[in-house]
Amino acid sequence: MIRPAAGIGLRHPHLALFAAEASDAPLRAPWLEIHSENFLCDGGPRLAMLDAIAARYLISCHGVGLSLGSAEGLDPEHLRRLKTLFDRTQPKLISEHLAWSVTDGTYLNDLLPLPYNDETLNTVARNVETAQSTFGQKILIENPSAYISFPASTMSEPEFLAHLVARTGCGLLLDVNNVYVSAHNNGIDAQDYLNTIPGDAVGEIHLAGHSVAAHGNDPFLIDTHSAKVCDDVWGLYAQTIARIGPRPTLIEWDLEIPELHILLGEAAKAQNLLDLNP
Amino acid sequence: MIPLRDLQLLFRNAVLGPGDGSLRAHVRSSGSIADRIAVYRNTVQGSLVEALAAAFPATQRIVGDAFFASLARRFIANAPPRRPQLSTYGSDFPAFIAISDVHQQLPYLADVARLEWVRGEAYFAADAPPFDAAFLVAASDDIETLRLDPHPAVRLIRSQFPIYRIWEVNQPDIIDIPRVDMKVGEDVLVSRPRDHVITRLITSADAVFVEAVYAGKRLGEAAEAALTYNAAHDLQNALAQHFVKGTFRDMRRAT
């Protein structure tokens, strides 16, 4: 388990810095999250740095390529490679997205949206069960950011996630920024959404920054992970942990990655809010 | 209601291709559907172009950013990734360059791309201790009968173009740009004995030697092949370099 403290996403520009720390140096963060797919190589310096970091830090493995929403099921080879990484790194949390990226054997490098209906629920539940039995561990499922919705949907995203939790025993990774972005883009109420998420299932929270699409008279939000967390998202986060209690919380920053102290400053802000909800 | 599998195929065509005609009927948006789908298309195509640019920086430098992006986009439409692991995407890009129209003007470009690709392979390859030359001293009585195994990170690229020099002058930190004789072919050996990828020019005789060893020949036979290629080949020095730079892993004795 990871205690409900604020960690950061570990990205390439900071990898060498963490790997070179002395074994008795104070930890810079209570826990770190990696993108699993960046470490599926056979060997080399990147994996060696991860080994050094995992020897000191609690690690969470966050996947971006398993494609739990694929109608065709999961790629057994990819599952096997992930299992090898998890055996090596011993992550305390494993997470993936309520999204898809693989169809007809083609990998589209994005987290694409799903219609929420019985067919999708059966598909995702089957895939989550396959993943959990392969990894021998519960996984957390993250709510996606979306720019569109589907007429084929018959239930809301929180309803869909609640069904998925009940069916598979999976947990949830609640991305507050994604809720904010999707709610804005698809005309739903972010507070309603957050109030209907089953709080007991939430094992981790993500916070990130987004951008505003600048063209036309349709100012929608794009989930870029390229900026500080905005004030509205901080507000929703504070309300959420007041309702469900503190959870391990991660600052994600994937593009235009800043210096480490800025990232740690965002984590300190999250930690202050967590400390108000012991 | 459209089955999930069919919806995902329509989505794939909309994000890999230029149009979203058949997807539109199945999605909803408070704003422009085309603008919204374009976000997905830009993310998918843009991130793959970036992944290729990261794997092939000298290739990109040679043709320029705009041309590289258009070449990459054609490649992505032809051969999108099959695995959700971007470090493995691009192995077929050099072959794609070799059959594209740019090959006429820049016939060496595909080989430069091959060199860049194998440098990436070397970086991510399995680790193994390089062959320890100290062992040779103990075995010196029958050195000619030894067979050596390739190190998992080693790659040999043989080209009819001076690809090492072309690659070298297209590094970001280059200061003096030497004249490059485009008629001279070059052989490049890439290795990673420990943390750092080594990229070095070797002689053709040495390349013949390495190929022979990797084909399972005894050291004596490989040396003979190299000396047949060039009687003046400095075998001692070349072998010492192979031991220092991790061309070989462990060793077995010939039976």
Q: What is the pLDDT of residues A206-261, one digit of tens each?
A: 999 998 886 666 778 888 888 899 999 999 999 999 999 999 999 999 888 999 99
255 residues of chain B, pLDDT tens digit each: 899 999 999 999 999 987 777 999 999 998 889 989 999 999 999 999 999 999 999 999 999 999 999 999 999 999 999 999 999 999 999 999 999 999 999 999 999 999 999 999 999 999 999 987 776 666 656 788 888 899 999 999 999 999 999 999 999 887 777 778 888 999 999 999 999 999 999 999 999 999 999 999 999 999 999 999 999 999 999 999 999 999 999 764 443
pTM: 0.94
Kindly determine whether residue A65 and residue B85, on different chains, have CB atoms separated by under 8 Å: yes
Of B35, B81, B192, Cβ closest to residue A216: B35
> Token pair for residue A210?
């987004």
Length of chain A: 278
278 residues of chain A, pLDDT tens digit each: 789 999 999 999 999 999 999 999 999 999 999 999 999 999 999 999 999 999 999 999 999 999 999 999 999 999 999 999 999 999 999 999 999 999 999 999 999 999 999 999 999 999 999 999 999 999 999 999 999 999 999 999 999 999 999 999 999 999 999 999 999 988 899 999 999 999 999 999 999 999 888 666 677 888 888 889 999 999 999 999 999 999 999 999 988 899 999 999 999 999 999 999 87
> What is A6-14+30-275's CATH superfamily?
Divalent-metal-dependent TIM barrel enzymes (3.20.20.150)
Q: Name the H helices within B79-183.
A: 93-98, 102-105, 109-124, 134-138, 163-169
Can you give the residue ranges of every domain in chain A? 6-14+30-275
Tell me if chain B has a CB within 8 Å of the CB of A108.
Answer: yes
Instruction: For this complex, say whether ipTM is above 0.90.
Output: yes
DSSP string, chain A: ---S-EEEE--HHHHHHHHTS-TTSPPSSSEEEEEGGGG-SSSSHHHHHHHHHHTTSEEEEE-SSS-TT-TT---HHHHHHHHHHHHHH--SEEEEES-EEEETTEEEEEEE----SHHHHHHHHHHHHHHHHHHTS--EEEPPP-S-B-TT--S-HHHHHHHHHHHH--EEEEEHHHHHHHHHHHT--HHHHHHHS-GGGEEEEEEE--EE--STT---EE----SPPPHHHHHHHHHHHHHH----EEEE--SS---HHHHHHHHHHHHHHHHT--
Kindly determine whether residue B35 and residue A41, on different chains, have CB atoms separated by under 8 Å: no
**What integer best gives the mean pLDDT of chain A?**
95
Kindly determine whether residue A42 and residue B152, on different chains, have CB atoms separated by under 8 Å: yes
Q: In the prediction, which pLDDT does B254 show? A: 41
Q: Which residue on chain B is closest to A99 by alpha carbon? A: B8
B26 touches B10 (CB < 8 A): yes
- Nearest-angstrom CA–CA distance, A42 and A40: 7
Q: In the prediction, which pLDDT does B139 show? A: 61
* Cβ neighbours of B17 in A, within 8 Å: none
Maximum C-alpha span of chain A: 56
> Token pair for residue B12?
């794939």
Of B47, B48, B84, Cβ closest to residue A37: B84
Q: Which residue on chain A is closest to B33 by alpha carbon? A: A148
Kindly determine whether residue B85 and residue A149, on different chains, have CB atoms separated by under 8 Å: no
Q: In the prediction, which pLDDT does B132 show? A: 77
Kindly determine whether residue A147 and residue B11, on different chains, have CB atoms separated by under 8 Å: no
Q: Which residue on chain B is closest to A219 by alpha carbon? A: B31
Tell me if chain B has a CB within 8 Å of the CB of A261.
Answer: no
Phi, psi of B192 (to 5 degrees): -145, 80
Q: What is the DSSP letter of B88?
A: G
In angstroms, the Cα distances linking B248 to A78, B71, B131, B209, B245 are 30, 36, 5, 12, 9
**Conformation bin of residue A168: beta by default, left when phi > 0, alpha when psi is -120 to 50:** alpha
Of A78, A104, A187, Cβ closest to residue B30: A187
Per-window interface: A 39-68 vs B, CB < 8 A: 40-46, 48, 64-67
Tell me if chain B has a CB within 8 Å of the CB of A145.
Answer: no
State which amino acid sits at residue B163: I
Neighbours of A86 (CB within 10 A): 18
Separation in Å, CA of B210 to nearest CA in chain A? 23
Can you give the residue ranges of every domain in chain B? 1-106, 109-255
* Cβ neighbours of A105 in B, within 8 Å: 82
Radius of gyration of chain B (CA): 23
Q: Name the H helices within chain B.
A: 4-16, 33-55, 57-63, 65-78, 93-98, 102-105, 109-124, 134-138, 163-169, 204-214, 219-229, 235-244
User: In a mutagenesis test of the A interface, which of B29, B44, B78, B118 is the best target, namely the one with the most A β-carbons within 10 Å?
Assistant: B29
Kindly determine whether residue B84 and residue A71, on different chains, have CB atoms separated by under 8 Å: no
Q: In the prediction, which pLDDT does B141 show? A: 60
